[in-house]
């Protein structure tokens, strides 16, 4: 068990994404962030919102540019997948995200609570079956080099369910109930601390997980992450934390960190029942119109700013914010 613990502590999966420069004199790294997109377990296995969001992501990839997609969890409703040959990979993923602008893009994937209701190791193993699907470990690090500059950015991908525990969606069960394996949770946190320290020279550092730190919506802030993650994000001057879980689009800013909620890939919910649970003035943008066909976020990292654009599946730009480079 000690050897296993050490192995887990030092296991850092660093995937280097080589990026083709975007438009303009200086290149950028660009990606789409979509959460809670995982269809339904009954035919046709995709919702109209998922289909509309997938089409709009294709248009955004073509019009704005994108180098990859970040999937923010709840990839397969409601109980994840059974094994690496589960037909849901085809029905809810491969056959839905077929727009020309999306076909060639790699997806970097993390697990949500609904994925953990099934077999997450099968989602890891599916990386061997699909050239699009990259899920190398429960948590991992991506190094992004900004073309045309000597600057780099870092994207640290977490498993917040292993960190905080499960909890059901849609009412019953509610908040995460604490990690099933305290040792594994501690190892992930130690890994994150090490990665954040190692990223001190990166121009931008992004952290992604399924559960929100701050959210005004149905689930609201995740107490476990407010306690464990928020101090690290602030101390290491992280540019932004990206998540899903709440089925809407939100931007909050607190303590110099941007908080992006992008959980509108399959459901859209308007509740702001936790509006009083976030720091006063933190919420800058919220979109959860029940009639909306869904939405996602586009991120562009260049030498001057990390720009977050929230898009509705209609193609409409809902909100845009530019976050400054870290003071190095």
The C-alpha angle with vertex 159 and arms to 38 and 258, in degrees rounded to 5, equals: 90
CA atoms within 13 A of residue 200's CA, in its CB half-sphere: 5
- 109 DSSP β-pair partners: 71
* Element at 60 (helix H, strand E): helix 48-63
> What string of DSSP letters covers 140-203?
EEEEEE-TTSS-EEEEEE--HHHHH----SSSTT-S----S-HHHHHHHHHHHHHHHHHTTT-S
Residue 247 annotated as part of some ligand binding site:
yes
Residue 245 is labelled as binding a ligand: yes
In terms of C-beta density within 10 A (0-12 exposed, 13-18 middle, 19 or more buried), how is residue 292 classed? buried
Q: Does 210 belong to an annotated binding site?
A: yes
For residue 36, say whether it is annotated as part of any ligand binding site.
yes
Round to whole Å and give the CA distance between 308 and 48.
25
Q: Measured between alpha carbons, how far is 319 from 259 in angstroms, rounded to an integer?
A: 14
Residue 90: name the closest of 132, 61, 58, 118 by CA: 132
| Ligand-binding site membership of 63 (annotated) | no
* 126 known ligand binder: no
Annotated binding site for Fe cation: 36, 74, 77, 113, 210, 245, 247
Annotated binding site: 36, 74, 77, 113, 210, 245, 247
């Amino acid at each position: 068990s000690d050897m296993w613990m050490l192995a887990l502590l030092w296991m850092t999966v660093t995937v280097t994404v080589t990026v083709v420069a975007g438009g303009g004199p200086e290149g950028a790294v660009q990606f789409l962030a979509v959460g809670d997109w995982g269809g339904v377990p009954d035919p046709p296995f995709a919702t109209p919102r998922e289909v509309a969001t997938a089409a709009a992501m294709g248009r955004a990839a073509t019009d704005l540019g994108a180098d990859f997609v970040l999937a923010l969890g709840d990839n397969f409703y409601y109980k994840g997948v059974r094994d690496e040959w589960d037909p849901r990979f085809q029905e809810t993923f491969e056959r839905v995200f077929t727009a020309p602008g999306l076909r060639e893009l790699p997806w970097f994937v993390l697990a949500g609570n609904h994925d953990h209701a099934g077999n997450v190791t099968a989602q890891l193993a599916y990386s061997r079956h699909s050239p699009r699907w990259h899920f190398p470990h429960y948590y991992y690090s991506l190094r992004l080099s900004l073309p045309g500059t000597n600057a780099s950015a870092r994207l640290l991908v977490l498993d917040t369910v292993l960190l905080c525990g499960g909890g059901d969606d849609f009412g019953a069960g509610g908040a995460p109930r604490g990690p099933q394996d305290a040792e594994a949770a501690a190892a992930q946190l130690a890994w994150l601390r090490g990665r954040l320290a190692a990223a001190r020279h990166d121009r931008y550092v992004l952290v992604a997980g399924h559960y929100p730190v701050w959210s005004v919506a149905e689930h609201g802030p995740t107490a476990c992450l407010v306690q464990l993650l928020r101090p690290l994000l602030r101390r290491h001057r992280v540019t932004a934390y990206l998540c899903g879980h709440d089925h809407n689009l939100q931007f909050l800013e607190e303590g110099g960190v941007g908080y992006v909620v992008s959980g509108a890939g399959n459901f859209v919910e308007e509740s702001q029942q936790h509006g009083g649970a976030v720091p006063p003035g933190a919420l800058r943008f919220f979109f959860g119109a029940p009639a909306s066909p869904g939405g996602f976020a586009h991120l562009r990292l260049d030498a001057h700013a990390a720009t977050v654009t929230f898009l509705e599946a209609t193609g409409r730009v809902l909100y845009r914010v530019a976050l400054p480079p870290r003071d190095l």
